[in-house]
Chain A
Amino acid sequence: MATAMQAATGPLGNQSAEEIEYQLRGFPDSAISSALELRSTFSTKALEDCLHGILRFYLPEGDQNFECNFECNDTGKIRIKEDLGLDSLSIAESMFKIEELFNIPIEYGEIAEVETIADASRLLTTKMTTPESVAG
């Protein structure tokens, strides 16, 4: 739960730094640092970086092409299936993690329409600004 000392203006402002670090333990540092940034303020870049880091956790290991796509492309334009090689179950698992982190329900139909990291970022941004989207 948030404390009086915490800035609660960002989309993750209702969680302490410790809670976020615990939720994202094992994930790339970039996911954690950008999630911590999202506690105090919202920025599309921080959100895209956070999604980028979370998706990276589910990247098929040992495939240099997908690794390269992660490093080489503009983050927002990265296509989750084609460029990263995430299969449908990995995408569903990553979305479940994102739901848990942001406490925002995402429907299967909405996931199906997400092609790029920017698409995922836009979907989340829309939901964050729609109060009834936030899970109770």
Chain B
Amino acid sequence: MNQVLVTGLGFATSIGTRYDEVLESLRGLSNGFARKQLGEDAVAGTAGVELVCGDVKGFDLSSCDFRDWRIPDSHRFNTSLLRCLPPHGPYAVTALEQAIDMAEIDRTDLGDGHCGLFCASPGSPAMTRHYLNRMAASGWRRGPPMGIVSSVAGTLNFNLATHYGITGASCGFVSACASSSHAIGYAFDEIALGRQDLMLIVAAEDSSAESLLPFLGMNALTLNPDTHSASRPFDRQRDGFVGTGGAAALILESAASAQRRGRTPIAELLGWGQASDGYNVAAPHPQGKGIRRAMEICLQSSGVNARQVDWINAHATSTPAGDRAEATALTDLGFADDDNNTSISSTKGLTGHGLSYAGALEAAICVLAIKEGLIPGNAGLKQIDPCCAGLNLPVETRAQPLNYVLNNSCGFGGANVCHLFAAIT
């Protein structure tokens, strides 16, 4: 098996659209939230609803017409690309361009067949609605030809594989909030098995009413109007998640390729695991059966035991059931034992829940934490839920060299994924 390294990261998130901004937020525990009115444009005649949401600063992608979009670094975009993208496309390109720059990859090499692209995107329900409205206005005779490729779930891989001239593997992953963690896992396999030298991974989500408000119907979103306590994973008072759009990107590379290019890796991806709950279409297994098994497989395949793990970036989204299930799984695996020093936090207290791009964002934060030697605190955590008894949940961010870091993700249908990142030795 080839060694799999991380050589690039990119962010277009509520806590920063550059590496140094994300680092500053993690150090200072400054969240990326704002109160927003959602739904007023989506349903005529309604005032919408005000919710605390992630705010990706500098972008305005609220329109479904790309000509209205405001994008920092707009020089990276041309009309041919923009007119085929969903509203989360500019987030994705921004993050991926950063990651490619950080890895110092010559863009002319991306199409040599040794580089693949895996994406995660749920598509854009707002864009689908927009195109249907335009078709209706033409008497259903005609619709915008790029309506499909800019709105369905594969939109990122369609567009970006074309834009970057990818001739290696390209694929999109859809497993709800585990989507981008699956993308990273299978990208690991592509390199470990020698099929590709380089893998680009990018995941993104719209910030629209159509993407976020349906979660209200599941009682999964918090209605807490206070931006400082709305997202509080593992807290006794938590009552739902804060949704956010945005994007994150990672570059995975074989050790041989990084060495050939003279690149110093940021961290190593040692292994990954996945397992399903087999329990409920939306609710997690009460004992976190699937995420526990995913962590076990990940640790076993990586040759690392639970006591060696310095930090776990938990999936915990700030919902009562989800956090409890994960805390139970962590306890069952020994992370609450007296002789276990693993710190556990959920960076969703700062970022909000990025849904299908959450796994990639949190993987990128794991790699950043290893590089910078810090454990992010649990933002918003005031009263630890009794279900977390014995777990080490730091409230403040602290400096600490990290050797092994786990990243958990859980999605609808009981899909669970775990990655293990390691410092370069």
Q: B-contacting residues of A (Cβ < 8 Å)?
A: 25-26, 57-58, 60-62, 89-90, 92-93, 96, 99-100, 105, 135-136
Q: Determine if B146 and A93 form an interchain contact, defined as CB atoms under 8 angstroms apart.
A: yes
Among the listed A57, A96, A105, A135, which residue makes an inter-chain contact with B144, where contact means beta carbons less than 8 Å apart?
Answer: A96
B145 touches A135 (CB 8 A): no
Q: Are B141 and A105 in contact (CB under 8 A)?
A: yes
Taking A96-B143, A105-B139 as given, write out 15 further A-B residue pairs in contact, using a Cβ cutoff of 8 Å, ordered by the A residue number.
A25-B68, A26-B67, A26-B79, A57-B79, A58-B79, A58-B83, A60-B80, A62-B78, A92-B142, A96-B138, A96-B142, A99-B142, A100-B137, A100-B138, A105-B141
Closest residue on chain B to residue A106 by CB atoms: B142
Encode contact with A along B100-141: 1 for CB under 8 Å, 0 otherwise.
000000000000000000000000000000000010011101
A93, B138: Cβ atoms closer than 8 Å: no
Q: How far is the CA of A62 from the CA of B67 in the complex (A)?
A: 19
A-B contact pairs, 25 of them (CB 8 A): A25-B67, A25-B68, A57-B79, A58-B79, A60-B80, A61-B78, A61-B79, A61-B80, A89-B146, A90-B145, A92-B142, A93-B144, A93-B146, A96-B138, A96-B143, A96-B144, A96-B145, A99-B138, A99-B142, A100-B134, A105-B138, A105-B139, A105-B141, A135-B138, A135-B139
Q: Number of B residues whose C-beta is below 8 Å from A?
A: 16
| Bound CA–CA A100/B67 (angstroms) | 16
Q: Which A-B residue pairs are the 4 nearest by beta carbons?
A: A26-B67, A89-B145, A61-B78, A92-B145
Q: B residues within 8 A CB of A99?
A: 138, 142
Instruction: Give B residues with C-beta under 8 Å from A.
Output: 67-68, 78-80, 83, 134, 137-139, 141-146
Q: Residue on B with the closest CB to A90? A: B145
CA distance A100 to B145 in the complex (A): 14
Chain B nearest CB, measured from A86 CB (Å): 11
Residue of B nearest to A57 (CB): B79
CB-CB < 8 A to B68: which residues of A? Answer: 25
Contact B145 A93 (CB under 8 A): yes
Distance of A101 from chain B, by nearest CB (Å): 12
Residues of chain B lying within 8 A (CB to CB) of residue A136: 139
Instruction: Look across to chain B and name the residue whose beta carbon is closest to the beta carbon of A105.
Output: B141
Taking CB atoms, residues of chain B closer than 8 Å to A58 are 79, 83
A61 to B373, CA, bound (A): 44
Report chain A residues within 8 Å CB of B138: 96, 99-100, 105, 135
Instruction: Note all chain B residues with C-beta closer than 8 A to A93.
Output: 83, 144-146
- Complex CA distance for A90 and B139, rounded to whole angstroms: 21
What residue of chain B has the Cβ atom nearest to residue A61's Cβ?
Answer: B78
What are the residues of chain B within 8 A of A26 when measuring CB–CB?
A: 67, 79
CB distance from A129 to the nearest CB of B (A): 21
In the docked arrangement, what's the CA distance between A120 and B359, Å?
49
Taken together as a complex, chains A and B put the C-alpha atoms of A136 and B142 apart, in Å, by 15
* Cα distance A60–B83 in the bound complex, in angstroms: 12
List residues of chain B with CB within 8 A of the CB of A61. Answer: 78-80
- Could you tell me the distance between the alpha carbons of A62 and B79 in the complex, rounded to whole angstroms? 11
- In the complex, A89→B162 CA distance in Å? 15
For A90, A96, A100, which residue has the most chain B Cβ atoms within 10 angstroms? A96
Residues of B within 8 Å of A92, CB to CB, are: 142, 145
CA distance A92 to B144 in the complex (A): 8
Chain A residue nearest to B141 (CB atoms) is A105
Nearest neighbor of B149 in chain A, beta-carbon distance: A89
A81 to chain B, nearest CB (A): 15
Q: Separation in Å of the B199 CB from the closest CB of chain A?
A: 26
Chain A residue nearest to B135 (CB atoms) is A96
CA distance A73 to B404 in the complex (A): 64
A90 CA to B143 CA, complexed, in Å: 13
Chain A residues near B142 (CB-CB < 8 A): 92, 96, 99
The chain B residue sitting closest to A93, CB to CB, is: B145
Contacts of B137 in A (CB 8 A): 100
How close is B152's CB to chain A, nearest CB, in angstroms?
15
* A93 to B149 alpha-carbon distance, docked (Å): 13
Q: Taking CB as reference atom, which chain A residue is nearest B68?
A: A25
Q: Which of A57, A62, A93 is packed against the most chain B CB atoms within 10 Å? A: A93
Nearest chain B CB to A80's CB is how many angstroms away? 15
